[in-house]
Amino acid sequence: MTGSPLIRALDRVGVAFLVLLGVIAVGVPLLSLAVPPGSAWHMPIYLVSLFGKYVCYAILALAIDLIWGYCGILSLGHGAFFALGGYAMGMYLMRQIGTRGVYANPILPDFMVFLNWKELPLYWYGFQHFAYAALMVVLVPGALAFVFGWFAFRSRVTGVYLSIITQALTFALMLGFFRNNFGFGGNNGLTDFKDILGFNVQAAETRAALFAASVLALAIGFYICRAIVTSKFGKVLIAIRDAENRARFLGYRVESYKLFVFTLSACMAGVAGALYVPQVGIINPSEFAPGNSIEAVIWVAVGGRGTLIGAALGAVLVNYAKTTFTSGSLAPYWLFGVLTLGTLAAVAITRRAVLLGAAVGLALAVLVWIVPTTLVASAAPFLLPYFSPFAVAAVLCLVWLGSGAAPLPLGIGLGALLFAFCITPFAGIALAPYWLFALGGLFVLVTLLMPDGVVGAIGRWWHASRRPSDPKAATDAGLAEPRPAE
């Protein structure tokens, strides 16, 4: 596209993504409010709130992708900025309760009355006004990120050291917010919200409006990020990511670039947290947990680092999988797992040897499963419960890992996993206690198979499929065939 930089920031994919967000922002509330509850098209209000939470996570993922995917800053503490924005909004919502609280105190929140606080702390002043709270949602995370980044980047702390420091930051904040004398509700946090801007926060119309506002914030955040990464400023960020010392030697003030984008990313995370709190109805110190920040990094890695759209989609898909697979047994969802596995195989690999390997893997898994189980059933039936098709898949996947990820063994591993998904009696497996292990395994697999994430792999496959494959086509397309050296 030509024209102003604001117009050039969007390509066809970006425009399509914004249009999709517009359709979702309008369509989901309409399906919830305008469609009768008895209709198959009706969307329950709890799903609207759940999807709104996913959208807030997508904004957080977008903020992380901006600094990690385009500037090489791996932050393992962005959950702190997310939680700070959430606490700022939670303080506003608590001030709206007034005399409707348990202790009917017009000024002090219930937890302060319970803890015998005599007056409102100074840092709570002004939060009865929405404009002030909205300012704090951006200012508090941004100020913390600016101060932290000023010292870290001027000291040239990079790489894993910076990641560890950011994780220590969020852990320290979590310990602080757990204390009752901090004035933020201790381990219970802030909850029992009543109103937001005078509207009942539990009403279906308010929930739908919060969802639409979250999608709008995601669209604005995406547009801002696209405008940055497609500008000359974004080119410098990419240069810093790929060769920081070379960019510094060329005269660019690397610390200033990193500080700006890190602060902007923290402000975006704060906005995501502020939209998250009224939709889930609570904010407590567990949001500062380092594991939450690590999960957010995994969302970006799975969706596609350095793609923006992939980061947002990764956040939605991974959290949808978390909700689905940790809410009970996997019996109704095993087909989802099979389809996901097939999709990953199709996206990651394009050679026929993988398909051949998948067939071999299925056959081997069946043989390795049937023969031992038949022998054990006749000789030692008490050992039968210890045989698992996932163990078979794990053994064959180890063969693949030891082979250097060649296409044929890769197909064998995928075929073995497909067999495990199909044969295992999922009704007896509850994945909730093992979700973090599954998430860690997903991160490892994505790092090995698709370092660019799902969206990045699709993009590579798409560009490769459109590339001329024969010399004549290359010549017709204006691409000269390379000549051998003379």
Its sign, for the CA torsion 304, 308, 313, 318, is positive
Torsion of CA 13, 17, 23, 24, to 10 degrees: 150
Number of C-beta neighbours around residue 281 at 10 A:
15
Structure tokens at 455: 């969206």
Per-residue b/e over 404-420, b at no fewer than 16 CB within 10 Å?
Answer: eeebbbbbbbbbbbbbb
Domain spans of the chain, in order of start: 16-325, 331-429
Distance CA 327, CA 430 (A): 8
The helices-and-strands tally (H runs, E runs) of the chain is 20, 4
Distance CA 232, CA 242 (A): 15
pLDDT at 128 over 70: yes
Instruction: Please indicate whether residue 177 or residue 474 has the higher confidence score (pLDDT).
Output: 177
Place 452 in a pLDDT band, splitting at 50, 70 and 90.
confident
Give the range with max mean pLDDT: 205-214, 299-308, 318-327.
Answer: 205-214
pTM above 0.85, yes or no: no
pLDDT at 300 over 60: yes
Mean pLDDT across the chain, nearest whole number?
81
pLDDT value, residue 421:
56
pLDDT at 390 over 70: no
Cα dist from 267 to 142, 158, 373, whole Å: 5, 21, 57
Place 344 in a pLDDT band, splitting at 50, 70 and 90.
low
As a whole number, mean pLDDT of residues 378-407 equals: 56
Instruction: Please indicate whether residue 72 or residue 333 has the higher confidence score (pLDDT).
Output: 72
Place 285 in a pLDDT band, splitting at 50, 70 and 90.
very high
pLDDT at 237 over 70: yes
Place 204 in a pLDDT band, splitting at 50, 70 and 90.
very high
